[in-house]
Amino acid sequence: MGELRVRDVSEKDLLARILRVLSPASRAEVGPGDDAAVLAVPGGRIVATTDTLVHGPDFRLAWTSAYDLGYKAAAVNVADVAAMGARPTALLVALALPESLPASFVDHLATGFRDALAELAPGCAVEGGDLTVSDTLTVAVTALGVLDGVEPVLRSGARPGDEVAVAGELGAAARGLGILFRRFRDADGTPVVVSTDALSPAERHDIDAQLRPRPPVELGVVAARAGATALMDISDGLLLDSSRIADASGVTISLDADLDDAALTGGEDHALLACFPAGMAPPAFEVIGRVRERGETAVLVKGAVREDRGGWDPYADWDSTLG
């Protein structure tokens, strides 16, 4: 008898495998296993966000393990909570699983979720979700957080004279994705398993940044308490995400630091991009520019206009022929 597949077990059995990994971390009044969770809401306000990872445009199983997929799905969602200046408290996870997947896939996926939350957002746990079957593996996550008495930090608060600062690494995830596409596809363009022995330490670091991002989640609250006027996580590239703050705030963002194309246009590092009144950026944030009165363009790089969009748009950039 071969390895158990999703098609060989019931929903009850799959759920039991997941809860065996995740339930001990629950902080809810009523946690996973009932029709819905019951959560305490300190301060009476909830920050909520959702993100979906779909096999194809968002990840490839030839390149990512179930563990890494769970880790990344947790990381990108708690980063969005942090980008509001909030503290992540709970995740709700919906899985659409191909029936041919090994049943053990959910064990490793759940472990990735558990470990990511323990490392990046202690006190946050998976508190519920849903299971269904699909030809396309999909992981949909709703993340919840609390503000702990501070006001949410929006994209729309940047003011002329503010400093623009970043916490976290820029460009590594984009370099890692480039390595995967250049070196780990066959002649037909189909992704193949990554051979880590063929990689230098720097290349392994960059691929790890793509497959298992580690956003500085704890610094979202730090930024809010330090007086950040605008805040977001860099998921689609520094240029594109800077333009979103600039447009929401009605200002121009001038980036003055020495940044290469990977740092400027690469996404998925999930670093935090913030604006602070001059001199108020916390030590963990590196100042990379200034906020100016609105000019003809949203973003300047060393005083010049970039003609390209400078980031990832899934509707414009996803190409199903790329493997």
Within 10 angstroms of residue 19's Cβ, the number of other Cβ atoms is 16
Give me the pLDDT at residue 317, please: 47
Q: Residue 166 pLDDT more than 80? A: yes
Q: What is the rounded CA–CA span in Å between residue 222 and residue 248?
A: 22
120 contacts 157 by C-beta, under 8 angstroms: no
Q: Which residue, among 90, 72, 113, has the nearest Cα to 270 in the 3D structure?
A: 72
Residues 93-116 pLDDT 10s: 999 999 999 999 999 999 999 999
Would you place residue 129 in the very low, low, confident or very high pLDDT band (cuts 50, 70, 90)? very high
Rg (CA), the chain: 20
| Average pLDDT of the chain to the nearest whole number | 91
**Which contacts of 256-261 are long-range, i.e. CB under 8 A and separated by 24 or more positions?**
256/288, 256/289, 256/290, 256/302, 257/286, 257/287, 257/288, 257/289, 259/170, 259/171, 259/288, 259/301, 260/171
Q: Is the pLDDT of residue 315 over 50?
A: no
Distance separating alpha carbons of residues 150 and 85, to the nearest angstrom: 8
At how many degrees (to 10) do helices 218-225 and 66-82 cross?
10
Q: Please tell me the predicted confidence (pLDDT) of residue 31.
A: 67
- Residue 153 burial (CB < 10 Å; 0-12/13-18/19+)? buried
Sort strands 87-97 and 125-133 into parallel, antiparallel or unpaired. parallel
Contact 128, 36 (CB under 8 A): yes
E strand segments, 24-112: 47-54, 87-97
Say what the pLDDT of residue 36 is: 65
Strand pairing class (251-255; 87-97): unpaired
Which whole number is the average pLDDT over 169-195? Answer: 93
At residue 312, φ and ψ (nearest 5 deg) are -100, 125
Round to the nearest angstrom and report the end-to-end CA distance of the chain: 32
CA–CA gap between residue 61 and residue 58 (Å, rounded): 10
pLDDT, tens digit (0-9, with 9 covering 90-100), for 53-85:
999 989 999 999 999 999 999 999 999 999 999
Is pLDDT above 90 for 42?
no
Determine how β-strand 163-167 pairs with β-strand 230-234. unpaired
Q: Is the pLDDT of residue 313 over 70?
A: no
Residue 227 pLDDT > 70:
yes
Does residue 322 have a pLDDT over 90? no
- Render pLDDT for 236-257 as a digit per residue (tens, 0 to 9): 999 999 999 999 999 999 999 9
What's the mean pLDDT in 281-295?
98
Name the pTM for this structure. Answer: 0.89
Q: What are phi and psi of 149, to 5 degrees?
A: 90, -5
